[in-house]
């Protein structure tokens, strides 16, 4: 075999040495290297080194280089996308994860192929036959592996020259089986695929829970009429599974089947809120919950029926503490007011800064928010508690309304109701399954009427006692997972509520003011027969000056015999009494007529006196004022007086004009009663002395 010589520069590169280092090695061991010189046109002769004189590693590197250089020419000629091997664009980590066994078998096979390629000591054909037998493969397969290995080495060298990265793993991947291409569906034409997608994602078909069988039956009709290629049922089924899972069309199908509202609730991405940045009582969420169990409820007429009790409660967003919880048959704005007052004056409790309320009519009533339900933003109105709304009147800064049909906006309240169902309600003997369960299996069949007859149902009062015990001893005192996630110092709701350093505090208004706010209110018209309300007529002497105008009224729901009447600016006018509700004795009608006539005469007399006063000339008015004794007009009070003793308790002074007017009216009545009592006592003392003298 002819000897192969390489230049001294190439020899140094193969041995991984510098040119000078390779020359020094030859000089030190001239007998170990076979060299010759080659003349060049000008300059010194070129020194050539025999390849057999180099190390085994250098000979192998030379062989690979020669093979790669030959492959580079082929690759350059076949550089189109079709000729690119599959492993060039594959993700190595993905392949190892999916086909780890094949990959590591190829690693071992690659070592054997490299050994075969390095053989150069005899008959290569005989060696190939023997080597293939050792690997239990045919000689043809061995040559195919070698060809693929060398091509992969060429691609690795090519890409390494382009970006400098190492692509030796191509050699291993070239010995692996190419991953089977999935989800190609060659038997489905573009028209058939489009028709399947159009039917499957049609909103009416999806809303009716259409099946693959239904779609295939329809497809059979269309294929026959249009002359398309007939697909099999299995292919159509696999294509739909591909659309739902691999193409990620599951959410789009859910949107078509369930609509936007359900899609936003179940599928739409949501974000977490930073509740730790809120102070305690900074934001309170409110909602109503119908329990999934039954209790015995006594109606006002004495009838006892089985009902699902309804819970009206508030939850502090920071600490998850339950506040102001009350139970009822049907919630309304009045019960909601009672719940708020319990939260403010209860223990624990306080005035919150902000309210996050439900979008229901009880929470968004005009009497509660001070604006119509159609107005989500607060407009600055000023005349009384009814235009400010109940929330602002009791000291709450403002309310925020959750969006309709989007319960995740007050997610803490909704999760709490789920906790109530799973940890509390299911322990009730009368539990009948989740009220909002989407499946029939979620319902538990029980004979509630028979349980009511046998007295097995708790009364509303007994049920509330059991609820309060669970709330105080279990829920408030155990560690809350939400508080753990936000890394609170105190993990129990009641502990965090009581011990948190950052707390919103505002003094509560006087309870007397709260009792006035609990009254229902309305703006009504004053007729010449009084105020019409509840089918009755309410009259008072002071109302005659407001006939034909609008006034504001308040009334106690437990006593509708009296209306508290105010001007539209909040000044109290009078207390109007219902005449009809006071007609009890047979002679009351005649007495009512007499009172009515007296009222007419007083009205006429008062207006005549006003008319006379308004028509009095200025000179006569001055003369009347000069004759009247009194203090000097314009005199300054130079004496400094103390403000007197005050209650040390901190309360918020109400700004409600109606309440201020009510206080003035109350003080006036108290002063009059005190004066009457004083003069009566003096008169009694004088009579006693006269009797002693007589």
Instruction: Classify residue 99: in a domain, yes or no.
Output: yes
Question: Residue 468: its pLDDT value, please?
Answer: 93
**How many helices (H) and strands (E) in the chain?**
26, 16
Among 287-291, 391-395, 616-620, the range scoring the smallest mean pLDDT is: 616-620
Q: Which of 471, 499, 527 corresponds to the end of one domain?
A: 499
CA-CA-CA-CA dihedral for 13, 14, 18, 19, to nearest 10: -80
Indicate whether 110 and 153 sit together in one domain.
Answer: yes
CA distance 66 to 70: 6
pLDDT tens, position by position, 328-383 = 988 888 888 888 888 888 888 889 998 888 777 777 777 777 777 666 555 443 33
Share of the chain above pLDDT 70, in %: 76
User: Residue 428 is encoded by which pair of tokens?
Assistant: 């009730």
Among 39-43, 62-66, 107-111, 506-510, the range scoring the smallest mean pLDDT is: 39-43
Indicate whether 296 and 425 sit together in one domain.
Answer: yes
Among 42-51, 163-172, 472-481, 615-624, the range scoring the smallest mean pLDDT is: 615-624
Instruction: Classify residue 675: in a domain, yes or no.
Output: no
Indicate whether 156 and 247 sit together in one domain.
Answer: no
Indicate whether 206 and 125 sit together in one domain.
Answer: no
Between 265 and 12, name the one with better pLDDT.
12
> Which distant-in-sequence residues (6+ apart) come within 8 Å of 171 by Cβ?
110, 149, 152, 153, 156
In the predicted model, what is the mean pLDDT of residues 69-89? 58
pLDDT tens, position by position, 438-451 = 555 668 888 999 99
Q: Is the pLDDT reported for residue 116 higher than 80?
A: yes
Strand order in the sheet with 322-328: 322-328, 310-316, 283-290, 354-357, 398-401
Residue 671 burial by Cβ neighbours in a 10 Å radius (0-12, 13-18, 19+):
exposed
CA distance 109 to 408: 57
Phi, psi dihedral angles at 124 (to 5 degrees): -70, -35
DSSP assigned state of 503: B
Q: Could you tell me how far CA 177 lies from the centroid of its own chain?
A: 49
Indicate whether 420 and 540 sit together in one domain.
Answer: no
Q: Is the pLDDT reported for residue 207 higher than 80?
A: yes
In the predicted model, what is the mean pLDDT of residues 144-164? 82
Question: Residue 587: its pLDDT value, please?
Answer: 43
Indicate whether 256 and 338 sit together in one domain.
Answer: no
Indicate whether 260 and 282 sit together in one domain.
Answer: no
Q: Which residue has the tokens 């009259």?
A: 539
Instruction: Classify residue 204: in a domain, yes or no.
Output: yes
Cα→Cα distances 561→7, 297, 380, 535, 553, Å: 122, 29, 34, 12, 13
Q: Which of 573, 608, 643 corresponds to the end of one domain?
A: 608
CA distance 386 to 569: 11
Indicate whether 96 and 229 sit together in one domain.
Answer: no
Q: Which of 608, 635, 652 corresponds to the end of one domain?
A: 608
Share of the chain above pLDDT 90, in %: 19
Residue closest to 242 by CA, chosen among 283, 299, 181, 286: 181
* Segments forming the whole domain that contains residue 587: 519-608
User: Residue 301 is encoded by which pair of tokens?
Assistant: 């007429």
Instruction: Classify residue 473: in a domain, yes or no.
Output: yes
Question: Residue 584: its pLDDT value, please?
Answer: 44
Q: Is the pLDDT reported for residue 86 higher than 50?
A: yes
Question: Residue 422: its pLDDT value, please?
Answer: 85
The CATH number of residue 524's host domain is 2.30.30.130
CA distance 276 to 280: 9
pLDDT tens, position by position, 605-659 = 777 777 777 677 766 666 665 554 444 333 334 334 444 444 444 566 566 666 6
Q: Is the pLDDT reported for residue 591 higher than 70?
A: no
Instruction: Classify residue 487: in a domain, yes or no.
Output: yes
Q: Within 13 Å of residue 472, how many CA atoms lie on the same side as its CB?
A: 10
Sign of CA dihedral 542, 544, 545, 549: positive
Residue closest to 497 by CA, chosen among 255, 308, 316, 369: 316
Indicate whether 392 and 486 sit together in one domain.
Answer: yes
pLDDT tens, position by position, 451-477 = 999 999 999 999 999 999 999 999 999
In the predicted model, what is the mean pLDDT of residues 140-155? 85
Estimate the crossing angle of helix 56-77 against helix 100-117, to 10 degrees. 110
Secondary structure class of 631 (helix, strand, coil): coil
Indicate whether 14 and 44 sit together in one domain.
Answer: yes
> Which distant-in-sequence residues (6+ apart) come within 8 Å of 149 by Cβ?
110, 113, 114, 117, 171, 174, 175
Question: Residue 395: its pLDDT value, please?
Answer: 83
Instruction: Classify residue 689: in a domain, yes or no.
Output: no
Q: Is the pLDDT reported for residue 281 higher than 60?
A: yes
Estimate the crossing angle of helix 233-241 against helix 190-200, to 10 degrees. 60
Instruction: Classify residue 368: in a domain, yes or no.
Output: yes
> Which distant-in-sequence residues (6+ apart) come within 8 Å of 369 by Cβ?
378, 389, 390, 391, 399
pLDDT tens, position by position, 220-269 = 889 888 888 888 999 999 999 999 988 889 999 999 999 888 888 788 87
Instruction: Classify residue 390: in a domain, yes or no.
Output: yes
Neighbours of 515 (CB within 10 A): 11
Whole-model pTM over 0.75: no
Indicate whether 533 and 466 sit together in one domain.
Answer: no
Split into its structural domains, the chain has a count of 4
> Which distant-in-sequence residues (6+ apart) come within 8 Å of 247 by Cβ?
none
pLDDT tens, position by position, 408-418 = 566 677 788 88
In the predicted model, what is the mean pLDDT of residues 194-199? 92
In the predicted model, what is the mean pLDDT of residues 496-516? 83
Indicate whether 304 and 215 sit together in one domain.
Answer: no
Strand pairing class (559-566; 304-307): unpaired
DSSP assigned state of 533: E
User: Residue 7 is encoded by which pair of tokens?
Assistant: 């230049």
- Mean pLDDT (the chain) is 79
């Amino acid at each position: 075999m002819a000897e192969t010589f390489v230049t001294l520069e190439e020899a140094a590169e193969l041995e991984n040495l510098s040119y000078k280092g390779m020359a020094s090695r030859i000089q030190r061991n001239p007998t170990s290297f076979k060299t010759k010189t080659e003349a060049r046109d000008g300059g010194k002769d070129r020194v050539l080194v025999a390849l057999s004189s180099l190390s085994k590693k250098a000979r192998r590197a030379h062989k690979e280089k020669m093979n790669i250089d030959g492959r580079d020419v082929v690759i350059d000629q076949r550089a189109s996308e079709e000729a690119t091997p599959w492993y060039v664009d594959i993700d190595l980590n993905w392949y190892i994860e999916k086909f780890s066994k094949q990959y590591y078998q190829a690693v071992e096979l690659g070592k054997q192929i490299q050994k075969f390629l390095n053989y150069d000591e005899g008959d290569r054909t005989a060696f190939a036959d023997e080597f293939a037998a050792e690997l239990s493969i045919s000689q043809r397969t061995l040559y195919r592996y070698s060809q693929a290995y060398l091509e992969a080495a060429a691609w690795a060298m090519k890409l390494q020259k382009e970006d400098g990265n190492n692509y030796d793993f191509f050699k291993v991947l070239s010995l692996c089986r190419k991953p089977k291409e999935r989800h190609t569906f060659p038997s489905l034409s573009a028209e058939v695929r489009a028709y399947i997608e159009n039917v499957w994602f049609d909103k009416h078909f999806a809303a009716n829970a259409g099946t693959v069988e239904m779609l295939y039956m329809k497809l059979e009709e269309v294929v026959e009429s249009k002359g398309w290629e007939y697909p099999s049922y299995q292919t159509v089924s696999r294509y739909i599974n591909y659309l739902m899972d691999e193409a990620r069309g599951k959410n789009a199908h859910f949107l078509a089947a369930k609509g936007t509202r359900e899609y936003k609730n179940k599928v739409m991405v949501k974000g977490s809120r930073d509740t730790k940045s809120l102070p305690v009582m900074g934001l309170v969420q409110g909602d109503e919950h119908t329990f999934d169990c039954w209790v015995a409820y006594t109606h006002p007429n004495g009838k006892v029926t089985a009902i699902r009790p309804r819970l009206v409660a508030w939850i502090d967003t920071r600490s998850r503490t339950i506040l102001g919880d009350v139970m009822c048959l049907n919630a309304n704005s009045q019960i909601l007011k009672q719940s708020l007052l319990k939260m403010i004056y209860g223990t624990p409790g306080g005035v919150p800064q902000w309210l996050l309320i439900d979008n229901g009519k009880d929470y968004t009533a005009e009497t509660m928010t001070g604006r119509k339900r159609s107005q989500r933003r607060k407009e600055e109105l000023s005349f009384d508690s009814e235009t400010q709304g109940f929330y602002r009147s009791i000291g709450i800064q403002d309310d925020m309304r959750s969006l309709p049909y989007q319960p995740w906006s007050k997610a803490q309240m909704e999760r709490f109701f789920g906790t109530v169902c799973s940890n509390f309600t299911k322990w009730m003997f009368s539990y009948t399954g989740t009220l909002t369960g989407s499946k029939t299996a979620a319902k538990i069949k029980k004979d509630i009427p028979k349980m009511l007859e046998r007295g097995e149902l708790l009364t509303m009062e007994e049920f509330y006692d059991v609820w309060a015990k669970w709330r105080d001893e279990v829920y408030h005192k155990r560690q809350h997972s939400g508080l753990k996630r936000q890394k609170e110092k105190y993990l129990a709701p009641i502990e965090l509520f009581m011990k948190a350093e950052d707390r919103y505090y505002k003094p509560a208004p006087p309870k007397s003011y709260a009792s006035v706010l609990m009254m229902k209110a309305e703006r009504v018209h004053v007729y010449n027969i009084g105020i019409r309300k509840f089918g009755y007529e309410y009259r008072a002497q002071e109302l005659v000056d407001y006939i034909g105008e609008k006034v504001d009224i308040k009334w106690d729901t437990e006593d509708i015999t009296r209306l508290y009447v105010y001007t539209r600016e909040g000044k109290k006018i009078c207390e109007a009494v219902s005449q009809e509700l006071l007609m009890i004795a047979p002679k009351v009608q005649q007495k009512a007529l007499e009172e009515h006539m007296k009222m007419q005469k007083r009205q006429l007399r008062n207006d005549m006196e006003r008319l006379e006063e308004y028509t009095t000339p200025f000179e006569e008015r001055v003369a009347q004022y000069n004759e009247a004794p009194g203090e000097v007009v314009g005199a300054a009070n130079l004496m400094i007086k103390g403000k007197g003793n005050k209650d040390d308790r901190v309360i918020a002074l109400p700004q409600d004009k109606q309440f201020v007017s009510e206080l003035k009216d109350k003080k006036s009545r108290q002063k009059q009663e005190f004066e009457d009592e004083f003069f009566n006592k003096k008169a009694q003392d004088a009579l006693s002395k006269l009797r002693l003298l007589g």
